């Protein structure tokens, strides 16, 4: 647009002031990028979920185990297509502080339940044949430089072995990947049969059940039907969709979304004050210049537009830089905190939201000075000068 050169010069009228304002904008959007990535991570369980899969856990708490005997009863419930189970092993490999999940489960059933997981057929078969076999995700393989054929010892923190030992050894029979862009592959699966045979206590139980509903069946109805079966028993169940389950798990930490919003609210409130002040000063200094523009024939509305454009330009430059640097930092943070808080990511939605905020904030910061400029009486302004 031909006015851009003019607008640009006006923006840099007072270099230090504009730079400092842009830096404030930069910081605000850097924070936005980081906080939205964290919020995204907390939501990633929810978003990766499949709408047709349900999770059955103990009603009181996830960590109470469920009887293995429930499996057939769940399978027989109306609307259930297939069911399998998994449990939380909770051990560590090498360093107690960097843990990754291990789940004992049924090989063929699990991969049928999670079709987004891909592994060569022969590897799945090899695992199923080897009681002490395990398969790991690609992320895990890369992080620890593991490959098929390696023997991996896992130290148990919960599940001592019947023979008193705490080291569980597994042969890696396969490496799997996922189609789901938000799914993680930083975990290990091994055979429930081995788990059941070797553990010292808790036999006959599983951590939770995973089931798929028949096409056309209502997940809510199926969930209720399952929970009804086990109501008033010593192990009451709570069945929910995968998404709901992930959500309720994240909620246990606290209302993360709200905390993030509050902090960002404080940040942007301050930002608006700073930019609003800058724009006010900028207009105040230029009263006579703006009046001259009007004498030259620039309409009231165009003067409004020019001031708003300046405000928006400042926001866009500072903001895009902040987002850019934020994006780089998020990449780094995601690698550093990968096992601890997986899924940190600056999503396209967040980026678009940020840009919309930049424009909105530009308008908000500039609107009062811009209207003042628009309403300027040429004569009064020139007489003052």
Partner 1 sequence: MSEVLATLTGVSKTYQKGKESVEVLHNLDIEIPKGDFIAIMGPSGSGKTTLLNLLGGLDKPTSGTVRVGDAEISSMSNNQLSRWRSTNIGFIFQFYNLLPVLTAQKNVELPLLLTNFGSAERAHRAGIALEIVGLEGRTDHYPRELSGGQEQRVAIARAIVSDPMLLLCDEPTGDLDRETAAEILGLLQILNREHGKTIVMVTHDAQAAEFANRTMICDKGTLEHQEAV
Partner 2 sequence: MITIKQIIAVTLLNLRNLPQRFASSAVAVVGVAAVVLVFAAVLSMAAGLERTMLSAGSDNTAVIMRSGATSELNSGLSNEQTLIIGNAPGVLKDGDNAIMSAELYVITDVKKLSNQTDANVPFRGVQAGAFEVRDNIRISDGRMFEPGKNEIVVGRAAQQEFMGLNVGDTIRFGQTEWSIVGTFDAGGSVSESELWTDVRVLQNAYRRGNSFQSVRVRLESPDSIETLRQALDDDPRIDPDVMSERDYYSSQSQGLVQFIKLIGYPLTILMAIGAVFGALNSMYSSVSVRGKEIATLRALGFGPMAVLFSTVIESVLLALVGGLLGGLLAYLAFNGFTASTLNGQSFSQVVFDFAVTPELLMQGMKAALVIGVIGGFFPAIRAARLPVAQALREL
Binder of partner 1 out of 300, 337, 355, 360 (CB under 8 A) = 300
For residues 337 and 340, what is the distance between their CA atoms, to the nearest angstrom? 5
CA-closest candidate to residue 61, choices 208, 203, 192, 201: 208
Residue 291's CB: how many other CB atoms inside 10 A?
22
For residues 343-382, which are near partner 1 according to CB under 8 A?
378-379, 382
344 binds, among partner 1, partner 2, none (CB under 5 to 8 A by kind): none
57 vs 65: CA distance, rounded Å? 8
Measure the CA–CA gap between 318 and 17, rounded to whole angstroms. 13
Q: State the virtual CA torsion across 257, 260, 261, 265 in degrees, nearest 10.
A: 180
Do residues 168 and 156 touch, judged by C-beta distance below 8 A?
yes
Find the radius of gyration of the CA atoms of the chain.
30
Q: What, of partner 1, partner 2, none, does residue 351 touch, CB below 5 to 8 Å by kind? A: none
Work out which of 7, 27, 287, 371 binds partner 2, going by CB under 8 A.
27
Q: What is residue 118's three-state secondary structure?
A: strand
CB 134 within 8 A of CB 173: yes
* 153 near partner 2, rule: CB under 8 A: no
251 contacts partner 2 (rule: CB under 8 A): yes
Residue 15 Cβ vs partner 1, minimum distance, rounded to whole Å: 11
Closest CA to 321 of 26, 87, 120, 8: 26
- State which residue, 3 or 340, has the beta carbon closest to partner 1: 3
Q: Give CA angle at 273 (267, 276), nearest 5°.
A: 130
Which of 136, 156, 306, 358 touches partner 2 by CB under 8 A?
A: 156
Interior/surface letters 209-235, b for 16+ CB within 10 angstroms, e for the rest? bbbbbeeebebeebbebbbebbeeeee
Q: CB 9 → partner 2: shortest distance, Å? A: 19
User: Of the ranges 23-31, 167-175, 286-294, 355-363, which one interacts with partner 1 (CB under 8 A)?
Assistant: 286-294
Query: Contact between 299 and partner 1 (CB under 8 A)?
Result: yes
For residue 162, with 0-12 CB atoms within 10 Å meaning exposed, 13-18 middle and 19 or more buried, which class applies?
exposed
Asked whether position 294 contacts partner 1 by CB under 8 A, the answer is yes
Binding mask 288-327 for partner 2 (x = CB under 8 A): ----------------------------------------
- Tell me: does residue 10 bind partner 1 (CB under 8 A): yes
Q: Which of 61, 121, 204, 231 binds partner 2 (CB under 8 A)?
A: 61
Other beta carbons within 10 angstroms of residue 380's beta carbon come to 11
Between 13 and 147, name the residue whose CB sits nearer to partner 1.
Answer: 13
115 in contact with partner 2 (CB under 8 A): no
Out of 80, 226, 267, 306, point to the residue binding partner 2 (CB under 8 A).
267
Residue in 236, 324, 359, 368 binding partner 2, rule: CB under 8 A:
236
Chain residues that interact with partner 1, rule: CB under 8 A: 2-3, 5-6, 9-10, 12-13, 288-289, 292-301, 378-379, 382, 385
Chain residues that interact with partner 2, rule: CB under 8 A: 16-17, 20-21, 23-24, 27-28, 30-31, 34-35, 38, 59-64, 90, 96, 155-158, 160, 164, 166, 201, 232, 234, 236, 248, 251-254, 263, 266-267, 269-271, 273-274, 277-278, 280-281, 340
């Amino acid at each position: 647009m031909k006015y851009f050169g003019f607008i640009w010069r006006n923006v840099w009228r007072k270099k230090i002031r504009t730079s400092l304002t842009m830096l404030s904008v930069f910081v605000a959007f850097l924070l936005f990028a980081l906080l939205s990535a964290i919020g995204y991570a907390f939501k990633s369980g929810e978003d990766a979920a499949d709408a047709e899969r349900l999770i059955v856990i103990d009603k009181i708490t996830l960590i109470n185990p469920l009887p293995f005997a429930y499996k057939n009863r769940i399978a027989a419930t109306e609307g259930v297509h297939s069911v399998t189970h998994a449990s939380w092993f909770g051990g560590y490999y090498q360093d107690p502080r960097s843990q990754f999940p291990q789940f004992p489960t049924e090989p063929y059933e699990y991969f049928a339940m999670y079709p987004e997981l891909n592994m060569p057929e022969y590897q799945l078969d090899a695992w199923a044949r080897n009681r002490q076999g395990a398969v790991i995700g690609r992320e895990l393989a890369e992080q620890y430089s593991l490959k098929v054929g390696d023997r991996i010892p896992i130290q148990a923190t919960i599940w001592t072995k019947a023979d008193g030992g705490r080291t569980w050894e597994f042969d890696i029979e396969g490496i799997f990947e996922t189609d789901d862009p938000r799914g993680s592959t930083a975990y290990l699966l091994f055979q429930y049969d081995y788990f059941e045979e070797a553990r010292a206590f808790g036999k006959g139980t599983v951590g939770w059940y995973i089931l798929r509903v028949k096409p056309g069946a209502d997940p809510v109805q199926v969930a209720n039907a399952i929970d009804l079966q086990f109501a008033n028993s010593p192990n009451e169940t709570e069945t929910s969709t995968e998404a709901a389950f992930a959500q309720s798990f994240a909620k246990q930490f606290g209302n993360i979304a709200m905390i993030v919003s509050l902090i960002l609210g404080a940040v942007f409130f301050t930002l608006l004050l700073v930019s609003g002040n800058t724009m006010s000063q900028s207009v105040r200094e230029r009263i006579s210049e703006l009046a001259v523009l009007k004498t030259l024939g620039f309409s009231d509305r165009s003067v409004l537009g020019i001031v708003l454009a300046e405000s928006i330009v400042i926001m866009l430059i500072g903001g895009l830089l902040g987002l850019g640097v934020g994006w780089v930092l998020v990449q780094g943070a995601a690698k550093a905190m990968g096992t601890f808080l997986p899924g940190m990511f600056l999503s396209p939605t967040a980026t678009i939201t940020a840009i919309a905020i930049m424009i909105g904030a530009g308008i908000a910061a500039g609107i009062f000075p811009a209207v003042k400029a628009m309403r300027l009486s040429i004569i009064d302004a020139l007489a003052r000068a």
